[in-house]
Chains A and B, each alone.
Chain A
Amino acid sequence: MSTLSDPPAESFQLSQLLNDTRYRSYTFQFIALILLILAMAWLGYNLAQNLAAAGLNISYEFLGEPAGYDINQRLIEYDSQSTHWRAAIVGVLNTLLVAVLGCFMATVIGVVVGVLRLSKNWLVSKIMAIYVEIFRNVPVLIWILIIMAVFVAILPQPRDFRGDDPAASMVLDLFAFTGRGFYLPRPYFTVEWASGGTGWLVVLAVLVGSFFGARALAKWATATQEATGQRPTTWYFTLGIWFVPLAFVLLVMGLAWDIPALKGFNFQGGIFMRNSLIALTFALAIYTAAFIAENVRAGILAISKGQTEAAASLGLRPNRIMNLVILPQALRVIIPPLISQYLNLTKNSSLAIAVGYMDLTGTLGGITLNQTGRAIEAVLLLMLFYLTISLSISFIMNIYNNSVKLKER
């Protein structure tokens, strides 16, 4: 049934695709899409043709072949008979290690510098300003190379520790700081059942337990404070909760220390932190920290002065104002750019080969690519790995961002 107010039935004409503003944008988007697909197809076709002409093909079979080369830093079991795939995984873990250490260090340095740059102390704020300007205006590769060169040149080499009257000696007989890296004492467990990874799992479990214990204690203290107006003194209980169980399990499992000692060419035993790892992490951290410092400063400046004044008029002391009023709000401004700094740091870690650090680009994108000649396959896989790592970082950071951002009710 039709009424008078019904619009006349739509009659669609082809020309409408161009003339009608309702359809025009779709038409153009569609054309652009087709062109894009055609361009991609042409490139792909070209690639396939040229590969065929050169007698090459795309194949990932090499990933299953023995790699044939050794990697100095391995977080998992690996030797020269392991596959290229495993070498790539060793590389991924090494990349993640620098990324995690670097992001952590960069955040700590960046926050401190950013806050101090706003300090009322002229000297401190100027020093921080100089730090920021120097570090973010020189390419990170240069920093990596400089730090590595200084590291190798300044610190003594193992050979300096040798002889009757050595030029260098270990610090406290426990630590050796050499141009090849730092050798630190390594804790281990002497009791049979704990000597594998189990001991560390137990320690972790105890620490988690202590954490919840301490939290429960703090909750109880707050509850008491609310009920009675008096906050009970709990710090020695807290200390006890953290340390007594830990000390007990460590004792039971027979904690001992493996102290590095010079044997043959190198120090043996203990934990070895390679010069390349230290130099790379440090360079990436101080470079990225300069950017983070600026984000932090911007975040703090974004909070209006009225907030500080209002908080002050409530009788809060300056550092309580910072912790309770300014920073929680500033975080909302700081977190999003912080995510991109983390991503930058992770991607910049691919400069690792400049100091011989075997990250993903060094293993899969370096030696594997070179020895197998599978450039296209290796580069595509490399992109996929970095993409996955970057997206995971964004994902995790976004969860955090959502938890601190302004909640509108």
Chain B
Amino acid sequence: MKTTLMLGAMTVAGLAAGAAAAATLDDVKARGKLNCGVTTGLVGFAAPDADGEWQGFDVGVCRAVAAAVLGDASAVEFVPTTGKTRFTALASGEIDLLARNTTWTFSRDVDLKFEFVGINYYDGQGFMVPKELGVSSAKELDGATVCIQTGTTTELNLADFFRTNNISYEPVPIETNAEAQPLYLEGACDVYTTDASGLAATRAAFENPGDHVVLPEIISKEPLGPLVRHGDNDWGDIARWTLNALIAAEELGVTSANIDELAAGTNNPEINRLLGTEGTLGEMLGLDAQWAVRAIKAGGNYGELFEKNIGENTPIGLARGLNAQWTDGGLLYSPPFR
């Protein structure tokens, strides 16, 4: 028992020691690799392809940061995390950045001491059911068995939703999306609930996606974004402005196709500042002038990443909706680069 306690205390102490270490940028540079926490596999957001290369919308954020900081979009060590393990992984310093469909909430920001660097997908929680059940609204789900991923906001929203509507359900807690799929398909649960984007991605991977419907109710706000540890503001700034660079690039019409041309200099000062031909923004971040060019080149601007991974022409088929630029009636709005 004594040894167990000792070991426990040591782990805990080690955990906290990692958390306290600042200067993540130096660590990443010294290591030559960015440790990026992603999902265990959600096609479209983060999943290894047939060649074992990680692909996806969240993966795109990791690669952009790696490109900005290390000059190499492939210098990323992807660390698969579950809903339960992701925060420990970040707090303990195992990963430098977490990009895993993670909802920005008050308690995660303030109490768990993390820093969300922005929002890369505005989402909400939805429900998916087999068509044959004939359910058309989430309010008809009284008595249903519901598969949920533990350690997520999903399970809290679910409890609230059923409580406020005064209906009952039977939760089946599950660790990963991959474990939930067979349970849902075999009928061990009637309903699968998670972020609507996750539902679309999960359904796209089914053999017969048409046999399943996503119910119209969206029961929560799920602003998903990348996050870093509290306390290292310089590192937080790098991640925040890399994401903003991708968003601003789309707004300003900078794409991976025309960026080489634009990076030679344009008559739009904001583009020039972003791409480093004017001003010293890169230097202020502790990077070089070309940081944003590399970040945008890694996988394209925000719109390109969206279209390539989860957009309407992919099997996942998500519309831009709230995730359109503010100029197109969406919520994406990068602060100015100046």
**B17 interfacial by beta-carbon distance below 8 Å:** yes
Are A40 and B188 neighbours in the complex by a CB distance under 8 Å?
Answer: no
A/B interface sample: 7 pairs, CB < 8 A: A43-B9, A47-B13, A54-B16, A70-B162, A356-B174, A362-B150, A387-B1
Q: Which residues of B contact A266 (CB under 8 A)?
A: 143-145, 170, 190
Q: Which residue of B lies closest to A156 (CB)?
A: B187
Q: Mark B122-155, 1 if CB is under 8 A from A, else 0.
A: 0000000000110000000111110000110001
**B30 interfacial by beta-carbon distance below 8 Å:** no
Residue in contact with A50 in the complex, picked from B17, B113, B150, CB distance below 8 Å: B17
**B171 interfacial by beta-carbon distance below 8 Å:** yes
Residue in contact with A356 in the complex, picked from B6, B113, B172, CB distance below 8 Å: B172
Q: Mark A239-278, 1 if CB is under 8 A from B, else 0.
A: 0000000000000000000000001111010000001100
Are B143 and A353 neighbours in the complex by a CB distance under 8 Å?
Answer: no
Are A53 and B132 neighbours in the complex by a CB distance under 8 Å?
Answer: no
Q: Mark B1-39, 1 if CB is under 8 A from A, else 0.
A: 100111011101101110110000000000000000000
**A392 interfacial by beta-carbon distance below 8 Å:** no
Q: How far is the CB of B299 from chain A (nearest CB, A)?
A: 31
Q: How far is the CB of B250 from chain A (nearest CB, A)?
A: 34
Q: Which residues of B contact A376 (CB under 8 A)?
A: 12
Give residues of chain A (290-326) contacting chain B, Cβ–Cβ below 8 Å. Answer: none
Q: How far is the CB of A243 from chain B (nearest CB, A)?
A: 37
Are A366 and B12 neighbours in the complex by a CB distance under 8 Å?
Answer: no
Q: How far is the CB of A143 from chain B (nearest CB, A)?
A: 17
Q: Mark B156-185, 1 if CB is under 8 A from A, else 0.
A: 101110110000011111110000001100
Are A72 and B170 neighbours in the complex by a CB distance under 8 Å?
Answer: yes
Question: Residues of B within 8 Å of A, CB-based: how many?
Answer: 55
Are B9 and A40 neighbours in the complex by a CB distance under 8 Å?
Answer: yes
Q: Which residues of B contact A47 (CB under 8 A)?
A: 9, 12-13, 16
Residue in contact with A383 in the complex, picked from B8, B15, B159, B175, CB distance below 8 Å: B8
Are B9 and A367 neighbours in the complex by a CB distance under 8 Å?
Answer: no
Q: Which residues of B contact A44 (CB under 8 A)?
A: 9
Give residues of chain A (352-396) contacting chain B, Cβ–Cβ below 8 Å. Answer: 353-354, 356, 358, 362, 366-367, 370-373, 375-376, 379-380, 383, 387
Residue in contact with B151 in the complex, picked from A50, A80, A366, CB distance below 8 Å: A366
Q: Which residues of B contact A276 (CB under 8 A)?
A: 172
Q: Which residue of A lies closest to B82 (CB)?
A: A370
Q: Which residues of B contact A263 (CB under 8 A)?
A: 143
Question: Residues of A within 8 Å of B, CB-based: how many?
Answer: 54
Are A79 and B231 neighbours in the complex by a CB distance under 8 Å?
Answer: no
Q: Which residues of A contact B141 (CB under 8 A)?
A: 265
**B221 interfacial by beta-carbon distance below 8 Å:** no
Residue in contact with A54 in the complex, picked from B143, B163, B231, CB distance below 8 Å: B231
Are A370 and B158 neighbours in the complex by a CB distance under 8 Å?
Answer: no
Q: Which residues of B contact A371 (CB under 8 A)?
A: 107, 151, 156
**A55 interfacial by beta-carbon distance below 8 Å:** yes
**B111 interfacial by beta-carbon distance below 8 Å:** yes
Q: Which residues of A contact B155 (CB under 8 A)?
A: 69-70, 367
Which secondary structure dominates chain A's binding surface? helix
**Chain B: residues with CB nearer than 8 A to chain A?**
1, 4-6, 8-10, 12-13, 15-17, 19-20, 83-84, 87-88, 91, 107-108, 111-113, 132-133, 141-145, 150-151, 155-156, 158-160, 162-163, 169-175, 182-183, 186-188, 190, 230-231
Q: Which residue of A lies closest to B87 (CB)?
A: A373
**A332 interfacial by beta-carbon distance below 8 Å:** no
CA distance A152 to B231 in the complex (A): 46
**A158 interfacial by beta-carbon distance below 8 Å:** yes
Are B231 and A275 neighbours in the complex by a CB distance under 8 Å?
Answer: no
**A46 interfacial by beta-carbon distance below 8 Å:** yes
Q: Which residues of A contact B87 (CB under 8 A)?
A: 370, 373
Q: How far is the CB of A323 from chain B (nearest CB, A)?
A: 39
Q: Which residues of B contact A217 (CB under 8 A)?
A: none
Are A69 and B230 neighbours in the complex by a CB distance under 8 Å?
Answer: no
Q: Which residues of B contact A372 (CB under 8 A)?
A: 107, 111
Residue in contact with B160 in the complex, picked from A72, A80, A370, CB distance below 8 Å: A80
Q: Which residue of A lies closest to B84 (CB)?
A: A370
Asked if A152 meets B183 with Cβ closer than 8 Å, knowing A157-B188, A373-B112, the reply is yes
Asked if A80 meets B163 with Cβ closer than 8 Å, knowing A50-B16, A366-B84, the reply is yes
Are A80 and B9 neighbours in the complex by a CB distance under 8 Å?
Answer: no
Q: Which residue of A lies closest to B159 (CB)?
A: A80
CA distance A47 to B15 in the complex (A): 9
Q: Which residues of B contact A158 (CB under 8 A)?
A: 187
Q: How far is the CB of B319 from chain A (nearest CB, A)?
A: 31
Asked if A54 meets B20 with Cβ closer than 8 Å, knowing A47-B13, A68-B159, the reply is yes
CA distance A370 to B13 in the complex (A): 19
